[in-house]
Structure 1
């Protein structure tokens, strides 16, 4: 049997295992190891497995994951999301659609210290949805802006999706973080435009609120100050080269812990729960990455990525046609899988093809994360929609009805980045 045929059979078997309920990391590791045994023999496969596990666990880059996870859990435990929303609400709540716009602002800022779409969606939903319901906002618009605003958590750095992509493709974590900043701002602006258009078309969907005295607006900024300083310290330090992403994560943890202590809302139980959440999240990510590395070794042995590159390169079609197909593939995958699982499954196969066609690897990483954002809020699953529906008892069809304008904004953002890739590459090119 030809090695490429073995590679294709391995991909099919891995998908069967995953859709059968097996953990993604375990399915990839099992199929990858079996494929290496078939193609290279047991001795070579065992040597590869031991080396891969050691390489993954001893990677200095890997330490960035528990650092940023712990930072986000510290911040989430003390209710910073409530402070951010309260401040944005005071400044914007009086205009039509203002509370929904304030929700997007809060999501964008909280994303810079969270890094998890699900955690951000839950945190913002607790404070934003009750306020929008009280003001008579449309349920579809309210849930739609929260669910889609929560997706900013995987685009605006620090993003665990970027870390996983960087480790699998050997790209710079810092460059990927910076590449996500301007697209994150662009997408936030497009979300706000969506809300303004909806409010204009249907004024009853987002009625204006009461004006807040200017003094209260200024005082509200005190609540957001610590979070903004932490964001500037972490991301600014990475951008100017004062410290590496891993060092930035450690500094972020110290800063978040200090903010938590000063806030007087942080208890011993919060501390223990934060550590336990970090251990669980980091452990699951490590299993995914080990599985992805093993599967990647199998793909290299099968020579399937090179065969795909040669085949696609020989076709008389534009590379942008290939890009369009990849976009559709990622949109479909994102409907059924979370971002980390989707990245570790697809990147070892698709990344070599895209790089061989001349696409920038940093830019492509941003595109992948954006596509995963769309998948988080599109049927039939829509993980963010499912999380929001479960936590608020809102029917999923109501939320899906509200997310479509924002999904269109995500697609528009992808088109803009495809036409103007320098939006994503500007900051990394100046590091």
Structure 2
């Protein structure tokens, strides 16, 4: 059997293991280790295991993962996420569909603290769905807004997805973080426009919200000041060159801890829960990255990336046609696979093609992460949909999927915008001070 056939068989086995819900890291590691053992030797596989594990865990840039996750966890425990929603609610909650729009804006703000789509959907779902039920919002609109708004967590920095992409492709974490800012704001605006349009066409979806006084607006905005300061210092510090991503993560985590201590909202038990959650998530990501460093040599030995690259470039559909095929592949895989698994599996195959075509790797990273977001609300897996279902058990699962459909179309529109106008993605990273 040729190396190419062995590589193809390995990819098929890996996909089967992932579809069977074998833990991502174990599935990737098992296929990579066995594949290298077959194509090289068991001793080479063992040597790779030792050397690549050390390479991953000694990478200082990966410190951003536990620090930013800790920052988001503490922000949740200290009520900072609730204050974000309250501020958005006070400003736009009184307009038609305002509670749903406030939820999306709150998700965007919270995403800038936690970098996790699941955490954003879960936290904002707990805060907002009860309010929307109280004001007789359509179950489809309320749950759809939460599930879609939660996807902003993987696009708006700090994003764990960008960190993994950066490590797999040797790109700058800081530039990727900044590249996600404008697309995240654009997507947030598109979601709010969609809610406004839906409620204008179908007024029964959402009633007019309660009016808020200027004093209530001022109180809501005042409560969001600490969160705004943390976001501006971390992202602004990276952009201005004052902080590296690691330093920005440390500053952000330190500030939310100080906020929790100052307001006496960070109890010992809350600190324990936050730290424990950060450790668990970090361990999961690190295991996946170690496994990726076992899979990549297997794919290289099998010549699969070269074969796929030659196939795509031989289709004569042009660079943007190839880009479309790659994004469609991510879209299909996202219906069944977890995002990190897709990155690990596909980057060694698709990234050389993208670089060979002359596309900017930072720009491509944003497109990939945005496409991965779409998988979070696509059936049948759609993990954000199931997260929202756990918060709103009375809304049928089918209704939630129908509720996210308009937002899914807005994400398609966003991808088209970023392909047509790449400067929306590249302006901030190209002007950052290094």
> What TM-score results when the alignment is normalised by the length of structure 2?
0.97
Distance 1:64 1:81 in 2: 21
Distance 2:105 2:335 in 1: 26
Match of 2:382 in 1: 382
Match of 1:364 in 2: 364
What do residues 59-92 of structure 1 show as CA deviations (whole Å, max 9, x unaligned)? 1111111111111111111122211111111111
User: Residue 171 of structure 2 aligns to a residue in which SS?
Assistant: coil
Distance 1:122 1:316 in 2: 44
Deviation at 1:347, TM superposition (A): 1.7
Deviation at 1:337, TM superposition (A): 2.4
Match of 1:159 in 2: 159
| Residues 175-254 of structure 1 aligned to structure 2 (within 5 Å) | 175-254=175-254
Distance 1:381 1:310 in 2: 32
What do residues 16-68 of structure 1 show as CA deviations (whole Å, max 9, x unaligned)? 22223321111111111111122222232222221111101111111111111
Match of 1:288 in 2: 288
Distance 1:350 1:392 in 2: 38
Distance 2:375 2:165 in 1: 17
Distance 1:45 1:378 in 2: 37
- 1:80 aligned onto 2:80: yes
| Residues 90-109 of structure 1 aligned to structure 2 (within 5 Å) | 90-109=90-109
User: 1:71–1:113: 8 Å Cα contact kept in structure 2?
Assistant: yes
Match of 1:425 in 2: 426
Deviation at 1:280, TM superposition (A): 0.7
Moved more, 222-231 or 309-318: 309-318
Deviation at 1:420, TM superposition (A): 1.0
Match of 2:5 in 1: 5
User: Residue 336 of structure 1 aligns to a residue in which SS?
Assistant: coil
Deviation at 1:318, TM superposition (A): 1.4
User: 1:194–1:405: 8 Å Cα contact kept in structure 2?
Assistant: yes
Distance 2:44 2:380 in 1: 42
User: Residue 22 of structure 2 aligns to a residue in which SS?
Assistant: coil
Distance 2:98 2:313 in 1: 49
User: 2:143–2:392: 8 Å Cα contact kept in structure 1?
Assistant: no
Distance 2:288 2:349 in 1: 16
Q: Aligned residue pairs: how many?
A: 431
- 1:23 aligned onto 2:50: no
User: 1:140–1:402: 8 Å Cα contact kept in structure 2?
Assistant: yes
Deviation at 1:263, TM superposition (A): 2.4
Deviation at 1:311, TM superposition (A): 2.8
Match of 1:258 in 2: 258
Deviation at 1:127, TM superposition (A): 1.6
Match of 1:48 in 2: 48
User: 1:334–1:375: 8 Å Cα contact kept in structure 2?
Assistant: yes
Deviation at 1:348, TM superposition (A): 2.1
Deviation at 1:142, TM superposition (A): 0.7
Instruction: List alignment gaps of at least 5 residues for structure 1.
Output: none
- 1:148 aligned onto 2:141: no
Go from structure 1 to structure 2 and tell me whether the alpha carbon gap of 1:397 and 1:220 turns closer, same or farther (over 3 Å shift). Answer: same
Distance 2:329 2:104 in 1: 28
User: 2:19–2:336: 8 Å Cα contact kept in structure 1?
Assistant: no
Match of 2:62 in 1: 62
Go from structure 1 to structure 2 and tell me whether the alpha carbon gap of 1:17 and 1:381 turns closer, same or farther (over 3 Å shift). Answer: closer
User: 1:148–1:406: 8 Å Cα contact kept in structure 2?
Assistant: yes
> What TM-score results when the alignment is normalised by the length of structure 1?
0.97
What do residues 244-290 of structure 1 show as CA deviations (whole Å, max 9, x unaligned)? 11111111110110111122222110011111111111111111111
User: Residue 236 of structure 1 aligns to a residue in which SS?
Assistant: helix
Match of 1:411 in 2: 412
User: 1:389–1:396: 8 Å Cα contact kept in structure 2?
Assistant: yes
Moved more, 376-385 or 5-14: 5-14
User: 2:179–2:363: 8 Å Cα contact kept in structure 1?
Assistant: yes
User: 1:309–1:356: 8 Å Cα contact kept in structure 2?
Assistant: no
Match of 1:300 in 2: 300
Deviation at 1:341, TM superposition (A): 2.4
